[in-house]
Structure 1
Amino acid sequence: MSYKSLLVHVDTSQAAERRLEFAFRLAQRFDARLSAILTLTQPEISSFYVMAGSADFLAEHARTNHERRELLERFFKAEAARTGVPTDWRVTTAYANEVVPAAARFADLVIAGQFDPNDPDSLVANQFLEHLILDAGRPVLIVPYTGTFATFGTHVVLAWDQSREAARAVADSLPIVRTAKQTTIVTLGAQGGEPPESRLPGADIAAVIARHAAEVAVDELPTVTAAEVGDTLLSHAADLGADLLVMGCYGHARWRELVLGGASRTVLKSMTMPVLMSH
C-alpha cells in the first residue's frame, strides 16, 4: 500500500501556503495526485441586518475572500508546475464540516491544519478537525500552524495501547514507516484501576512493524494519569527528535458536539510536529 491520492484542506489563514508546500512535498515523495479543497467561510447575513455598517463589513469580507482565493490558487498552480505533481483544485462555500469529510473519503490520506487561536481565518467551522478525523474514514495528517518541517517521517513515533484506533493508525501510517530511518513504538503503563496485564509491552506490534521498517525500537514509559498522556507523548517524541507522531483518535458524539479523548484533545492543541491521527 502507498498513498496515491492526497487531499489537502486549504483555508484563508496565514499558514495555508506552508501547508500547501508540505502537501506538495508529500505528493512528490509518494508519486501521488494532490487534490486541494479551499473552503471559504460566509457570514450569516441574517445576523447582520440590524447592525450599522453591516453592508460595509460584508463587502470587505467578500473582497478579502476573493483576494485570498486568487492568491492561493496562483500559489497552488505555480507549485504544481514547479513540481510536476498532478493536481485538482476546488473551491467551495459549503459547510466545511460536511463537504471536507465527504471529499476525504476519496483520498488515501488527508492533510489539514492545526487551529491557530491567533488567526480567525483558521476557524472554518465548529470543531472542524474533530469532525474531519472522526467522520472522514481516512487517516488525517495535521500540520502545526507554526514551523516549516524540513524533514518529515524520518523518525516516526507510534503511540500504542492495543486499541482498535491505535491499530488503525499503525496500518494507515505504514507507507511512511516503510521509508523512515527510525520507528519508535511508545507504550504507557496501565492506568489506575486497570490490571497490569491490560497494557502489554510493545514487542508484539514491534515484530509486525519490523517487517516493514528499517529500524524499530520500543520505549515503555511509566504510568501517567489519563490527563497526562497527550503531553507525555508529545514530550517524548520531541526528546527523541521525531518528526512525526502517529496515534489513534478516540471520540464520540454527545448531543450537538463531538467529545474527543483527553490525549487527542491535548495533542491537537499543543502539537509541535505533524501528527497522523486515525479513528
Structure 2
Amino acid sequence: MDLASILVYLDSSRRSHQHIAASVVLASAFDAHVHALHADPATPHDGPSSDAEVVRRAFLGVIEDAPVEGSWHATHGDPAQRLVHESRAVDLLVLGQHTFLGKEGDNLAALGSCILAAGRPVLVIPAHGWIRERPGRAVLVAWNGSRESTRALRDSLPLLRRAGSVQLVHFREHSARNRYADHQPAHHETHPTTHYETHTEAHTEAHRPAGHERGFADPAPGPADNGTRVTQGTSVQYALAWLARHGVTARALTCALGAGQDAGDAILSHASDTGADLIVSGAYGHGPWREAVFGGVTRTLLRAMTVPVLFSH
C-alpha cells in the first residue's frame, strides 16, 4: 500500500500555507495527487470570493513548482460534511488543528467528528510552528493493542516505511508498577515524570480508571492461540513482527505514567524528548455526527499537539 491521493482542506487563514506545504511535500515523496478543498463563504451566484481566489492562487502556484499534480475545488456547503464525502476517494486527509475555528459549533467537536467519520487516516497539522520537512522522519506510535491502534499502525505503514526511526510506546498506570514489581527488569531508564521499561505487563479491565482509553493505561485483552489472554507485551511483539515483515524496523517501549499524569500529555512529552516529528494514534470516540464523545487521549492530542498527528479510527 502507498499514498496515491491526498485531500487537503484549505481555509482562508494564513495557516493554509502550512497545510499546502505539508500536503505537497508528502505528495512529492509518494508521487501522489493533491486535491485541495476550500469552503467559500460567498454564495454560488456571487462567484468566488477574494479570499477563495487568494488561496486558490497560492495552492496552484505551489503545485506548479512542485513535481506533483494537483486539483482545486471550492464548496459552498458544510466543509466538514464535504470533507467526509470526498475523503472516501483518497488515501489521506490533511487538516489543520484549527480547521473549523470560527465555524458554527465547536472546533474540537467538528474536527474530531470528521476524523471519526472519514474512514481514512487523517493527518492533523498543529496550529503553531512551521513544517519545513516531510513529517514522518522520526515516528512515535502510541500503541495500545486496540482495534483503533492497530488500524492506525496499518494506515501509517507508507510513512513508517520511509521513516528513519519508529518507536511503539505503550503507557500504563503508575500504580501498576508495585503490582508487578516481582516481574520488573533489573535495569530500566528513568525520567522525571515517566518511567521507561524494556518490556510490558498485563493490567486487567478491573483496574482501569473510568474514562481512560484502553492500552494507554493497560493492555488490550484478547484470546491467544492457546486460549489464554494476550498481554500487552505479546501484542507489542506481534506488532513489531508485523512491521518487520513489511520492512519496518521499530523498537518498543513501555512507559509507566507518573501519579496523576495524563497519558495524552505523556505522549506529547515523550515526542518532544525523543525528537519525534510525527505521532501516530488511534482516534477514540463514539456518538452521532457533531455530537461525538472523545476519549481523553484523543482530546488531549487534538487540543495540545505540538507536532503533526496521524489519527485513524
TM-score (norm 2): 0.75
Tell me if structure 2 keeps the 8 A contact 1:10–1:16.
yes
TM-aligned CA deviation for residue 115 of structure 1: 1.4
Tell me if structure 2 keeps the 8 A contact 1:188–1:223.
yes
Q: Which residue of 2 aligns with 1:150?
A: 132
- Which consecutive residues of structure 2, in runs of 5 or more, have no partner in the other structure? 173-202, 209-217, 222-230
Aligned residue for 2:145, secondary structure, equals coil
Structure 2: distance between partners of 1:196 and 1:142: 26
Aligned residue for 1:107, secondary structure, equals coil
Tell me if structure 2 keeps the 8 A contact 1:168–1:278.
yes
Is 2:121 the counterpart of 1:139?
A: yes
Which one-letter code corresponds to 1:268 in the other structure?
L
Give the alignment partner of residue 229 of structure 1, picking from 240, 255, 263.
263
Structure 2: distance between partners of 1:264 and 1:226: 17
Tell me if structure 2 keeps the 8 A contact 1:226–1:263.
no
Taking the TM superposition and a 5 Å limit, the aligned residue runs for 1:35-184 are 35-41=35-41, 66-115=49-98, 122-126=101-105, 127-151=109-133, 152-184=135-167
Q: Which residue of 1 aligns with 2:186?
A: none
Change (3 A) 1:197 1:165: closer
TM-aligned CA deviation for residue 150 of structure 1: 2.4
Q: Which residue of 2 aligns with 1:193?
A: 207
Which one-letter code corresponds to 1:266 in the other structure?
T
Structure 2: distance between partners of 1:74 and 1:96: 20
Q: Which residue of 2 aligns with 1:207?
A: 241
- Which consecutive residues of structure 1, in runs of 5 or more, have no partner in the other structure? 44-61
TM-aligned CA deviation for residue 213 of structure 1: 4.5
Tell me if structure 1 keeps the 8 A contact 2:95–2:124.
yes
Which one-letter code corresponds to 2:102 in the other structure?
L
Cα-Cα RMSD:
2.5
Structure 2: distance between partners of 1:77 and 1:185: 37
Q: Which residue of 1 aligns with 2:17?
A: 17
Tell me if structure 2 keeps the 8 A contact 1:154–1:181.
yes
TM-aligned CA deviation for residue 278 of structure 1: 0.4
Which one-letter code corresponds to 2:7 in the other structure?
L
Q: Select the structure that is richer in helix.
A: 1
TM-aligned CA deviation for residue 196 of structure 1: 7.2
TM-aligned CA deviation for residue 247 of structure 1: 0.4
Change (3 A) 1:272 1:107: same
Number of equivalences? 256
Change (3 A) 1:264 1:30: same
TM-score (norm 1): 0.84
Structure 1 residue runs of 4 or more that deviate by more than 6 Å after TM superposition: none
More displaced 10-residue stretch of structure 1: 169-178 or 203-212: 203-212
Q: Deviations over 1:11-68 (max 9, x none)?
A: 112211111111111110110000000013479xxxxxxxxxxxxxxxxxx99x8222
Which one-letter code corresponds to 1:241 in the other structure?
G
Tell me if structure 1 keeps the 8 A contact 2:169–2:252.
yes
Change (3 A) 1:122 1:40: farther
Q: Deviations over 1:152-195 (max 9, x none)?
A: 21111111111100010000000000010100000122477148
Q: Which residue of 1 aligns with 2:30?
A: 30
Tell me if structure 1 keeps the 8 A contact 2:41–2:49.
no
Tell me if structure 2 keeps the 8 A contact 1:177–1:213.
no
Tell me if structure 1 keeps the 8 A contact 2:264–2:301.
yes
How high is the sequence identity, in percent, across the aligned residues?
Answer: 34
Tell me if structure 2 keeps the 8 A contact 1:39–1:94.
yes
Is 2:311 the counterpart of 1:247?
A: no
Aligned residue for 2:232, secondary structure, equals coil
TM-aligned CA deviation for residue 76 of structure 1: 0.9
Structure 1: distance between partners of 2:124 and 2:65: 24
